[in-house]
Amino acid sequence: MAAPSQLPRTLRSDATEALAVDLGWCARMAARRITGEMDKGLAAAGLTSAQFDLLCLIASAPDDTLGGLAERAGLNQSTMSRNVDMLVSAGLVEVAMVEDDRRRRAVWLTETGARRLAAALPVWRAAHQALAAKLGSVISRNFVDASVVLDAAEAAGRR
């Protein structure tokens, strides 16, 4: 009996195969969907997931400078500055020059920003728990683990 013939390879079939397993593509698609789910959940708090995450980053920052925040978020300083400027416009954060070095700018939550973040945390917890349940514990843990592994590899590469 003859073996089944294999379909000819085409650019379309090769590209389809590549997208099905490409880690960058899959991560971006998962991130978009996760962000959309969290945006829906956080809408009740009047924040997007990006705003919530940035408020958390600022509130938890051991280094409150724009440069420190950018490094911790894996962004360049100009992108972080644009993101922070949106929160400044909303009255949620303040930015000031660091006294001993006028090139550095410190960022902190305003009273309004702190209240908004505190009110958003229970909303986030519920949205996060629902999303984690949808993804399952193994996938949820794998996302966290992947982030930790990649952070460590990047830190090792800077040494």
Confidence at residue 110, expressed as pLDDT on a 0 to 100 scale: 97
Is 34 among the domain residues? no
CB 93 within 8 A of CB 108: yes
Give residue 125's domain range: 47-158
- Whether 14 is in a domain gets the answer no
The answer as to whether 62 is a domain residue is: yes
Residue 41 is assigned to a structural domain of this protein: no
Number of domains present in the structure of the chain: 1
pLDDT of residue 159: 73
The CATH number of the domain holding residue 54 is 1.10.10.10
The HSE-up count of residue 70 (CA atoms within 13 Å, CB side) is 16
12: in domain: no
Question: Cα dihedral sign for 84, 102, 98, 73?
Answer: positive
Asked if 57 and 92 count as a contact pair (C-beta separation under 8 A), the reply is: no
Q: Residue 63 corresponds to which tokens in the numbers above?
A: 């280094």
In the chain, which stretches have pLDDT less than 50?
Answer: none
Identify the pLDDT of residue 155. Answer: 83
- Rounded Cα distance between 158 and 82, Å, is 26
Whether 137 is covered by a domain: the verdict is yes
CA 88 to chain centre: 19
Give the tokens for residue 62: 């051991």
Q: What pLDDT, on the 0 to 100 scale, is given for residue 3?
A: 64
Per-residue confidence (pLDDT) for residue 7, from 0 to 100: 74
**What residues are paired with 65 via a beta bridge?**
106
- Is 106 strand, coil or helix? strand
pLDDT of amino acid 104: 81
- Tell me if 108 is assigned to some domain: yes
pTM: 0.85
Nearest to 73, CA basis, from 50, 95, 99: 50
pLDDT tens, 19-48?
Answer: 999 999 999 999 999 999 999 999 999 999
Q: Is residue 37 part of a domain?
A: no
For the chain, the maximum distance between any two Cα atoms, rounded to a whole number of angstroms, is 83
For the chain, percent helix, then strand, then coil, each to nearest 5? 70, 10, 20
